[in-house]
Structure 1
């Protein structure tokens, strides 16, 4: 079976025997993600990431905090994890890549500072 990507957090969902009967319908990696489906703020973060990257030269990167600041204003710090989730969903859609130290990384396992760039 092929792995899937969580519709909320964008992390990889590995096939497990417990989902064998219903694998086609699995969309979320956890109950928490099932409860927090992407909302207007999440969609605004995705749009912000794409718009910020469209304004940059080819191959240039942005930090997820730039999208969080654009969407959240003074409360941008609360949007850092939602911005990272939005970035992982955009990676799954094939729109962007997540990098660390200039190298493309797996969005499901990346820890620490990340940068975002167009594919």
Structure 2
């Protein structure tokens, strides 16, 4: 199975993050496209949702796990 550059960037950043800490999806976007990072935020979100469904990461809102299919607004990513 091939992975996307976004998936690789998310998992790479999470691997470098201290246990229990989360990352901002904008960090992923900025790593991939420093100049126009806002443009790829929707793809980062879609990739994060897919990874959450596979159990590879947890999407959080206000520090609590969020349902990948129904969360809205500001979110963060962390390892399960």
Shared fold by TM > 0.5?
Answer: yes
2:55 corresponds to 1:86: no
- Report the counterpart of residue 74 of structure 2 in structure 1: 113
Question: How high is the TM-score relative to the length of structure 1?
Answer: 0.63
Name the counterpart of 1:49.
10
Task: State how many pairs are aligned.
Answer: 78
Contact between 2:52 and 2:58, CA under 8 Å: does it hold in 1? yes
Counterpart position of 2:35: 74
Q: Relative CO higher for 1 or 2, CA cutoff 8 Å, sep ≥ 6?
A: 2
In structure 2, C-alpha distance between the alignment counterparts of 1:64 and 1:45, rounded to whole Å: 10
Consecutive unaligned residues of structure 2, counting only runs of 5 or more, are none
Deviation for aligned residue 1:59: 0.8
In structure 2, the residue matched to 1:21 is: none
4+ runs of 1 displaced by more than 6 Å? none
2:74 & 2:4 partners in 1: Cα distance? 22
1:61 aligned residue: 22
Q: 1:97: Cα distance to partner?
A: 0.3
